[in-house]
Amino acid sequence: MTETQLPAVNREWHLVSRPVGWPKPEDFALVEAEVPQPGEGQVLVRNAYVSVDPYMRGRMSAAKSYVAPFELGKVMQGGAVGEVIASNAEGIEVGDHLLHFFGWREYAVVDAKQAVKVDPQAAPLSTYLGALGMTGLTAYAGLLRTAAFKEGDSVFVSGAAGAVGSQVGQIAKLKGASRVIGSAGSDEKVKLLVEEYGFDAAFNYKNGPVSEQLRAAAPDGVDVYFDNVGGDHLEAAIGSLNRDGRIAVCGMISVYNSTEPVPGPKNLARLIQTRGRIQGFLVGDHYDLQAQFVQEVGAWVRSGELKYSETVLEGIENNLEAFFGVLRGDNVGKMIVKL
């Protein structure tokens, strides 16, 4: 085994109780533990950046879902990228950089087969958690495959200033959308969408009924709706959907902390008139697009054609605050914690 000098203490976040409604600080604990040693076929990674994402709220619940819940009293998981400081795996050397799924901690032992080598010279390390990572692939697959985007489509994106939404709108523009509209939760974010990301129109959903603001921004209707929010946004999109329109449901952050069942859209019958389609998707079903995604989107990132933003908090002790910030919508682009 090759290694650098190993640290003595590893700080990691544990889930200690399952949140009801909005998560509270007392549902979590920052715990000091021994730094684990890599076994056969494993490596020890010093995490440089860790990701917090809306889907993690679902894993804090015991309810049956598409992925196992976080275990109580155990360290949580999430995307992370870092440097190998000890290797017991063939083909991975100390000093290599890996993308893996053992975030929420400073040091992680990872099976080599569960990690992907990344090149910090090709793109900044943090982008492998965002623009060139899972969130980027989510945008790419959801728009191009699930929503079957085609040149000339008019596209509406909710949560458009977030990591996924901002990339959806830009990919649509780069692929020849006739019009791209975004919604966000502040006037500053609306300005960013139009001036920085090239959206044709955007609105602050807090400034009035979403359905009215969407009709004003897209008087000719929308062909594709990329849903990150659910609720009144989904209902508004159905109301503005054109003939043969498609809705890709990526997330519904507006209902993640609800303690009672949430009513669905009241206008679903309109899908009959429009021959519209709603389809949910998970990025894990689309990893066959990974190579194509990295090649195409990586080129846009390097050329500056695709812009990305990151909201970065520093220190493992701020991991929880970063996660709360995502649920509140504080972030512009990808929320990341730098360790």
Rg (CA), the chain: 21
Give the dihedral sign, CA 210/216/221/226: negative
User: Which H/E stretch holds residue 92?
Assistant: none
Under 8 Å CB-to-CB from 45, ≥6 apart: which residues? Answer: 80, 82, 83, 84, 85, 98, 100, 102, 107, 108, 109, 110, 115
Q: How much is the pLDDT for 331?
A: 87
Q: How much is the pLDDT for 1?
A: 64
Q: Which residue shows structure tokens 């650098």? A: 4
Which residue ranges in the chain fall short of pLDDT 50?
none
Structure tokens at 156: 């509406």
Q: How much is the pLDDT for 3?
A: 65
Alpha helices in 8-108 (DSSP H): 56-59
